[in-house]
Structure 1
Amino acid sequence: MSTDEAQETATDDSGEATADVADGIDHQVAMVLDLNKCIGCQTCTMACKTLWTEGEGREYMYWNNVETKPGEGYPRGWEEKGGGWQSAERSERSPGEIPSQEDYGEAWEFNHSEIFYDESDEPLRPQGDDPEWGPNWDEDQGAGEYPNSYYFYLPRICNHCTHPTCVEACPRKAVYKREEDGIVLIDQERCRGYRYCVEGCPYKKVYYNAVTKTSEKCVFCFPRLEGEGADGEVHPPACASECPPQLRLVGYLDDEDGPIYKLVEEYGVALPLHPEFETAPNVYYVPPYAPPQHSGDGETIDVERIPRTYLEELFGEAVHDALDTIERHRDRVRRGGESELMDILTSENPAQQYRLEVFDDA
């Protein structure tokens, strides 16, 4: 399918929406991330960086990043920079802001040679002037007061949204959703680097390459899904397969026997990030639990450590039902009962975690 065919109903020359780009998508691929398993090791970040963004002009790009919440994230303050839609009917795009280079942080060069070859006693540090911001600048910095402070990790990639504003914003029709799986891609031949896609994405997961003068973003490792590797086998995205605690599940939303459908649709415990942006993300999160709070003398008290009000800011009102559902199923297992939900969330079977061949013959 050509880019023109994929995009012919996406936008008119003014950039106003003319049809829903989700129409005609055969099967929407999706990912669920269980935040209760993330240890902030950044292995997913490095897997993505090594595979996709080592080239010139991509030094500052992290298509996958893991940020500490509460925190400003990457790029800095992305949640306040705008984008998305202004109404439930998605009749008008919300104006957004293009992050500055300072918001992303510089691509630092470190003093590795001094430490490894010159036997220097200097600590590991960036070369040149002391940096003022960068990815993971606020890593492991939490909220609350001791002994009830808290933080958790939030891995982020492009959400490959059902109603992507990056697609609608591009006057060149260079950004499109693939018909076969709903992955959002940028046609590098059509892109002219106007950066309306960067402005329009409320998650700020589209990046501008100042060397090639084009926009780039996560491609959901689609060559791996298509079996284009050396072994000819289908593999999940690198951020998922390389994750040490295996917190990501990948599959199709309409696979009713798969874990994605069950977690998102059946049990309702996997939620989109910032649903108020109205782009309908296809990356979902199982919200984090934390140990209960403690009193000043060390006694456990019946107060949640991570305030639900904060989680509601991230995942919407549905977070209350999601956490209550998880707690009921956890209690059921503690009492010796069975729970399909807990089986899914604790499965170590790759065939269960990654169901990517189910529609191959469709």
Structure 2
Amino acid sequence: MDVRAQLVMVFNLDKCLGCHTCSIACKNIWTDRRGAEYMWWNNVETKPGAGYPKFWEDQKRYKGGWVLRGDKLKLRAFSKLSTLLNIFYQPHMPRLEDYYHPWTYDYAKLYESPEESDQPVAEPISLISGEKIDIEFGPNWDDDLGGSPLYAEEDINLDERRIVTNFGSIFMFYLPRICNHCLNPACVAACPQRAIYKRGEDGIVLVDQNTCRGWRFCVTACPYKKVYYNWNTGKSEKCIFCYPRTETAQANACAHSCVGRIRYVGVVLYDADRIEDALKVKDEELVEAQRKIILDPRDEMVRKAAKENGVPDNWLEAALKSPAYALIKEYELALPLHPEFRTMPMTFYIPPLSPVLAVHRAIHDVEEHEEVPDKNLLRVPVRYLSKLFAGGNERVVTEALERLVALRKYMRARNVGEQPDEDSLRKAGLDAESAEKLYRLLTIASYNERYAIPSLHREYLDVTPSEERRGGSGFGISIRPRGGQ
């Protein structure tokens, strides 16, 4: 058993406002500079929709992630021969237009124009070339279902595309996205320069700017398209999980600034020996396989193995208080984004509840049902959610929704002085004590309850950059502190 620690972020999609405060906080800190104008390490998409870059989920187009060929995992886009042939050209990489052409406005015209009968206009100009441009697309171009016939209808997760143009069935929710800091990152495996590595002490995936040569294999290989090319420096860049903040036990900038308090950050322990086997199952089995490699931090054997592998005591204590572990493993609410890409992402999403469609009779609230209604009655189809978060496994999505519905019914009854329905709670796998804990975590949790981030002092770690990049398969490494600390 090879026990390692990973910092994980969980998103509660029921509470996302789509305000983009997280995106602006990230932009102001990390990508407000030349060459990074088009980069949004954190972005919030409207689903269904095209996303950023456009249609990033379509791997027939972008060739990202891994595929299972026989009993071996292979990069979808590359073999040894194709790596050599594509060393100077990436045919499946998104173009700038797929992200968007960054622009500003010629504000000088507003106060430098001579007196005229018409109001002067600040025309859009490119942030890259400085020339006038016609704006055709932006990072939130389809926000709130804007342009549904053009973009939302083309969402590959939809089985029935007309659903987003029919007023009676249209639905939407927000999907915040950062780099997933995967356990089996395709970007790490694809880099011929070994410039991308997964830190052994916290699992964060980083790009060594001194080593990167701008081959851009990582951009193609990442199925989530969260690695970007800086045209000014000629290097690749990506979300760094705000490690200068997390190393000092502070929440990530996107999480700290979140208005809806939808984000949770914590430590999970996992068995690295079982990653490869967990990825060699059918798409529908990937969620449960990923849950199985996440270990119970209260188990003495797990704690002992973690210490032997160099996991510090404060990280083990943080794992005990981790909201991420509770939501992912204990309550099985949070699900990975597109597990069928087989990168084993380490960001998780609690699927959103939704109103029930009024079909033949007036049904407006989920709570009117003893259980989650038939999937055909939910405004957000379970099938859609399963293709987004569960590799097509509708059962694990339904189970998560059942727990959310049972919790909502139970706490509503308690708050209005009615007799709580504990039978529904038990059917959903909860009891009164766990319902209280989950209710607090999802609603009124304090800062320290939402973020259980242990401090990290890299000066105590006996590791070199070359050791960190050892073994480009993407399964990470373990790092032992000096002096057994």
What's the TM-score bracket when you normalise by the shorter of the two chains? Answer: 0.7 to 0.9
Q: Structure 1 residues 341 and 144, CA, compared in 2 at 3 Å: closer, same or farther? A: farther
**Quick one: which of 299, 316, 324 aligns to 1:260?**
324
1-side partners of 2:254 and 2:107: how far apart?
Answer: 26
Q: Structure 1 residues 133 and 296, CA, compared in 2 at 3 Å: closer, same or farther? A: farther
Give deviations 1:231-280, integer Å, cap 9, x for gaps: xxx31110000011111000111314321101001111101100101111
2-side partners of 1:91 and 1:299: how far apart?
Answer: 46
* Amino acid aligned to 2:77: P
1-side partners of 2:323 and 2:112: how far apart?
Answer: 49
Q: Structure 1 residues 54 and 324, CA, compared in 2 at 3 Å: closer, same or farther? A: same
Q: Structure 1 residues 263 and 299, CA, compared in 2 at 3 Å: closer, same or farther? A: closer
1-side partners of 2:17 and 2:28: how far apart?
Answer: 20
2-side partners of 1:111 and 1:330: how far apart?
Answer: 51
Please state if 1:132 is matched with 2:136.
yes
**Quick one: which of 171, 195, 198 aligns to 1:174?**
195
Please state if 1:343 is matched with 2:421.
no
Please state if 1:197 is matched with 2:218.
yes
1-side partners of 2:51 and 2:94: how far apart?
Answer: 12
**Quick one: which of 228, 231, 234 aligns to 1:213?**
234
Matches within 5 A, 1:71-110: 71-80=49-58, 81-87=62-68, 91-95=73-77, 97-110=92-105
1-side partners of 2:36 and 2:64: how far apart?
Answer: 23
Q: CA deviation at 1:299?
A: 5.6
Give deviations 1:197-246, integer Å, cap 9, x for gaps: 1111000000001111110000000000122xxxxxx3111000001111
2-side partners of 1:122 and 1:310: how far apart?
Answer: 47
The answer to whether the Cα contact below 8 Å between 1:148 and 1:294 also exists between their aligned partners in 2 is: no
**Quick one: which of 344, 356, 360 aligns to 2:453?**
356
Matches within 5 A, 1:218-257: 218-227=239-248, 234-254=249-269, 255-257=319-321
* Amino acid aligned to 2:341: F
**Quick one: which of 381, 384, 388 aligns to 1:314?**
388
The equivalent of 2:86 in structure 1 is none
1-side partners of 2:449 and 2:122: how far apart?
Answer: 41
The answer to whether the Cα contact below 8 Å between 1:90 and 1:278 also exists between their aligned partners in 2 is: no
* Amino acid aligned to 2:172: Y
The answer to whether the Cα contact below 8 Å between 2:108 and 2:122 also exists between their aligned partners in 1 is: no
Aligned to 2:101, what secondary structure does the other structure show? Answer: coil
The answer to whether the Cα contact below 8 Å between 1:24 and 1:179 also exists between their aligned partners in 2 is: no
* Amino acid aligned to 2:140: N
The equivalent of 2:334 in structure 1 is 270
Aligned residue pairs: how many? 334
1-side partners of 2:10 and 2:123: how far apart?
Answer: 35
The equivalent of 2:280 in structure 1 is none
**Quick one: which of 175, 179, 191 aligns to 1:154?**
175
Q: Structure 1 residues 358 and 335, CA, compared in 2 at 3 Å: closer, same or farther? A: farther
* Amino acid aligned to 1:321: E
The equivalent of 1:333 in structure 2 is 411
CA RMSD of aligned residues (A): 2.7
The answer to whether the Cα contact below 8 Å between 1:25 and 1:179 also exists between their aligned partners in 2 is: no
The equivalent of 2:27 in structure 1 is 49
Decide which structure has the larger Cα Rg and report it. 2
The answer to whether the Cα contact below 8 Å between 1:291 and 1:304 also exists between their aligned partners in 2 is: yes
2-side partners of 1:83 and 1:105: how far apart?
Answer: 20
Q: Structure 1 residues 278 and 296, CA, compared in 2 at 3 Å: closer, same or farther? A: same
Looking at secondary structure, tell me which structure has more helix per residue. 2
2-side partners of 1:125 and 1:299: how far apart?
Answer: 49
List runs of 5+ in structure 1 lacking aligned partners. 1-22, 228-233
* Amino acid aligned to 2:21: T
The answer to whether the Cα contact below 8 Å between 1:84 and 1:93 also exists between their aligned partners in 2 is: yes
The answer to whether the Cα contact below 8 Å between 1:225 and 1:356 also exists between their aligned partners in 2 is: yes
2-side partners of 1:71 and 1:123: how far apart?
Answer: 31
Q: CA deviation at 1:90?
A: 5.4
The answer to whether the Cα contact below 8 Å between 1:25 and 1:180 also exists between their aligned partners in 2 is: no
The equivalent of 2:15 in structure 1 is 37
The answer to whether the Cα contact below 8 Å between 2:247 and 2:456 also exists between their aligned partners in 1 is: no
Please state if 1:324 is matched with 2:402.
yes
Percent of pairs with identical residues:
43
Give deviations 1:65-88, integer Å, cap 9, x for gaps: 001100010000100123111129
1-side partners of 2:66 and 2:36: how far apart?
Answer: 28
TM-score by length of 2: 0.64
2-side partners of 1:271 and 1:239: how far apart?
Answer: 20
**Quick one: which of 350, 357, 365 aligns to 1:293?**
357
List runs of 5+ in structure 2 lacking aligned partners. 79-91, 126-131, 149-163, 270-318, 366-372, 415-419, 421-431, 461-484
Q: Structure 1 residues 269 and 211, CA, compared in 2 at 3 Å: closer, same or farther? A: same
1-side partners of 2:20 and 2:105: how far apart?
Answer: 18
Give deviations 1:117-172, integer Å, cap 9, x for gaps: 98986788744343222211111116252244211110000000011010111111
Q: Structure 1 residues 272 and 33, CA, compared in 2 at 3 Å: closer, same or farther? A: same
2-side partners of 1:293 and 1:117: how far apart?
Answer: 55
Q: Structure 1 residues 148 and 256, CA, compared in 2 at 3 Å: closer, same or farther? A: same
Q: Structure 1 residues 342 and 59, CA, compared in 2 at 3 Å: closer, same or farther? A: same
1-side partners of 2:379 and 2:119: how far apart?
Answer: 41
